[in-house]
Chain A
């Protein structure tokens, strides 16, 4: 049984067997996880230290009655409502240079879904030389949908985003659902494409 009836036997096998890592369960990570599960990915390692707060509900795949819950636990509940037959390794932990290798050791592909420059740089430095990694940069604000793009960087790294529009409260630039959601869908689409050997 699967929530996606439109997979070939090969696609079902590949997506069902692969372990995908998601580093961060915020706007990018929670929505990426939703798209991956709806696509047919069954085995996920998702790590995030944070809890759901009201300000997350503008873009993250959580609900008002989940405020206060650890994000990984709220996300587990939401993903299992889509597809009960999942293998979820949910870790409520802050991802660091010291634990990132162990956390995602089993993963065929890792999706970077952090919100800070430091964390993004850390995981690129730690994983991009050894594990296929899809990272995101530049998803804040409104409009400019066509500026969001997918491009390869080196053998193992793929970058999603416009590469320039960061959150900038002083200038009124914040993360909103449409643009973060587009990027999260592109992140998931890229992960699935890498797993299936399809064009990015």
Chain B
């Protein structure tokens, strides 16, 4: 299956978004996740299943202010 991750077409065998992001080495708890144009809220366990051509953008949150 192909998804678009950070603007790049990416092949994945992951069934869901959590598995995909772990496979990318992304620190899920420190990310704002935009999935098909919507910001996802809630726990990692509630992240959705993946489908062909899903668009995934992640933005890292770091401490400081």
Contact = CB atoms under 8 A, between A and B. Distances in A.
Judge: A and B partners, yes or no.
yes
Interface string A94-119: 00000000000000000001111100
Given A121-B29, A124-B41, A154 B34 contact: yes
A167 interface: yes
A121 B65 contact: no
Given A125-B42, A135-B32, A154 B37 contact: yes
B39 A163 contact: no
Contacts of A186: none
B39 A157 contact: yes
Given A121-B29, A153-B57, A166 B39 contact: no
Nearest to A154: B39
A153 B59 contact: yes
A141 B39 CA distance: 28
A85 to B, nearest CB: 28
Given A117-B30, A124-B32, A154 B64 contact: no
A128 B41 contact: yes
Contact of B64 (A129, A157, A159, A175): A175
A115 B39 contact: no
Given A156-B39, A159-B59, A115 B64 contact: yes
30 contacts: A117-B29, A117-B63, A121-B30, A121-B32, A124-B32, A124-B39, A124-B41, A124-B61, A125-B40, A126-B41, A128-B39, A129-B39, A129-B41, A136-B65, A137-B60, A138-B64, A139-B64, A140-B63, A151-B59, A153-B39, A154-B34, A154-B38, A155-B37, A161-B62, A163-B60, A165-B62, A166-B64, A167-B63, A167-B64, A180-B65
Interface of B: 29-30, 32, 34, 37-42, 57, 59-65
Interface of A: 24, 26-29, 113-117, 120-121, 124-126, 128-129, 135-140, 151, 153-157, 159, 161, 163-167, 175, 180
